[in-house]
């Protein structure tokens, strides 16, 4: 089986997740391409060497340019901060190397458009890391909607809520400074990606963005918070349905509140990532007295579950989502065919973010057609 050298930029939380995934994916899915952990890059030589030893890379470097240029690196995984995404992706594409980039795509709408242009001009496989949409339950939900099991969709709700900054006395961190790392730039992209995956294109948005706690304790006294704590948006989809998206980092009690609800003329479904191995399904059929939501426990009959476990209801976890992503990226490289979500799909999330910001500034509905698309 042919080997493929993987270079990962960033060895922290997501860098580790990807390193573990590429170590496991070949056996988990019996992929034809077998990944080899070639190079890891970090912000210092010491941290890079620590990641190399811990995760099993062949080499470590403190310079991502060195990683991208290494002839032993056949594909690049970007797991570093958003403001680094564009430069790394453009350099890898210029060398004809496939690129997987953690969400969101760059730190701005302009970054995302440039990354789409670079990848498509080079003709290299490219993907964005929206892992939560790859759970067996959510893949099954997408299938049910696409097959018309819920009938004509009339309403949709999505959220991504967590509580890591719910305490007003929690100190200021890198997450409380800069637009890209606020709730809209950090958490909401997952909910917006789910929105597009399940419902298709959005026609218009009406949104509000709020910084609930304007200052937090800093080393030298109160420090201003320069980004948002929560955001909500009403949506009108191109298919005519209505919807709502909410995201918050101050949602007390919510740890992984990636959730959605879909209503159609023939049924409905709902999902919550805190119970990721279950999908609640309602079918509008049979006697009214016996109708109700049914809890569907995922098992080998659902997408990608059997690669991890043969027992229904035993469940998959967070790391398994990253392994599925790795399988999809390897598939795109092997076949030369795009696997969703590509950079262009990631740019659609960025367009939604830009529309939400524009609506908040204007206090009015904003049509998505006014937000620039990526180039041809």
pLDDT of residue 1: 64
Average of per-residue pLDDT across 327-331: 98
Residue 289 has pLDDT above 80, yes or no: yes
**Are residues 164 and 274 both part of a single domain?**
yes
**pLDDT range class, residue 322, cuts 50, 70, 90:** very high
Structural domain boundaries enclosing 17: 3-126
**H-type alpha helices, 203-342:** 318-335
The number of folded domains in the chain is 2
- Calpha distance 363→191 (Å, rounded): 22
As a whole number, the mean pLDDT across the chain is 97
**Are residues 171 and 286 both part of a single domain?**
yes
pLDDT of residue 75: 98
Residue 167 has pLDDT above 70, yes or no: yes
pLDDT of residue 374: 83
Residue 376 has pLDDT above 80, yes or no: no
Whichever domain contains 311, its CATH number is 3.30.360.10
**Are residues 170 and 297 both part of a single domain?**
yes
**Are residues 230 and 283 both part of a single domain?**
yes
Average of per-residue pLDDT across 81-108: 97
Residue 265 forms part of a structural domain: yes
What percent of the chain has a predicted confidence (pLDDT) above 70? 99
- Calpha distance 10→63 (Å, rounded): 10
Closest CA to 209 of 351, 364, 365, 357: 357
**Are residues 50 and 156 both part of a single domain?**
no
**Are residues 43 and 149 both part of a single domain?**
no
**Are residues 142 and 98 both part of a single domain?**
no
**Are residues 183 and 293 both part of a single domain?**
yes
pTM: 0.96
Average of per-residue pLDDT across 108-118: 96
pLDDT of residue 129: 97
Q: Provide the 3-class DSSP secondary structure of residue 78.
A: strand
**Are residues 52 and 165 both part of a single domain?**
no
Joined together, the tokens standing for residue 173 give 């961190």
């Amino acid at each position: 089986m042919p080997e493929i050298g993987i270079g990962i930029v960033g060895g922290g939380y997501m860098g580790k997740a990807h390193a573990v995934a590429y170590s496991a994916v070949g056996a988990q899915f019996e992929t034809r391409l077998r990944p080899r952990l070639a190079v890891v890059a970090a912000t210092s030589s010491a941290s890079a060497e620590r990641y190399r030893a811990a995760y099993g890379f062949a080499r470590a470097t403190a310079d991502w340019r060195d990683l991208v240029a290494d002839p032993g690196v056949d594909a690049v995984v970007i797991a570093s901060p958003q403001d680094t995404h564009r430069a790394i992706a453009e350099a890898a594409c210029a060398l004809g190397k496939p690129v997987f980039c953690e969400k969101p795509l760059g730190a701005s709408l302009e970054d995302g458009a440039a990354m789409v242009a670079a990848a498509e001009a080079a003709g290299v496989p490219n993907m964005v890391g929206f892992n939560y949409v790859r759970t067996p339950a959510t893949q099954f939900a997408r299938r049910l909607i696409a097959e018309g099991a819920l009938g004509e969709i009339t309403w949709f709700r999505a959220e991504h809520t967590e509580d890591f900054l719910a305490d007003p006395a929690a100190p200021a961190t890198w997450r409380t400074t800069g637009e890209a790392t606020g709730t809209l730039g950090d958490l909401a992209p997952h909910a917006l990606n789910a929105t597009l995956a399940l419902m298709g294109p959005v026609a218009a948005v009406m949104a509000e963005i709020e910084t609930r706690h304007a200052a937090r304790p800093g080393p030298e006294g109160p420090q201003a918070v320069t980004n948002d704590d929560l955001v909500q948006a009403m949506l009108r989809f191109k298919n005519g349905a209505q919807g709502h998206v909410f995201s918050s980092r101050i949602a007390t009690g919510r740890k992984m509140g990636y959730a959605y609800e879909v209503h159609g003329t023939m049924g409905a479904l709902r999902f919550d990532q805190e119970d990721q191995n279950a999908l609640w399904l309602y079918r509008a059929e049979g006697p009214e007295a016996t109708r109700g939501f049914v809890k569907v426990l995922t098992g080998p009959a659902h997408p990608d579950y059997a690669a991890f476990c043969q027992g229904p209801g035993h469940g998959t976890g967070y790391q398994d989502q990253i392994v599925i992503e790795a399988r999809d990226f390897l598939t795109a490289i092997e076949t030369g065919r795009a696997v969703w979500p590509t950079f262009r799909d990631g740019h659609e999330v960025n367009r939604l973010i830009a529309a939400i910001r524009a609506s908040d500034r204007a206090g009015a509905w904003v049509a998505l057609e006014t937000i620039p698309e990526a180039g041809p």
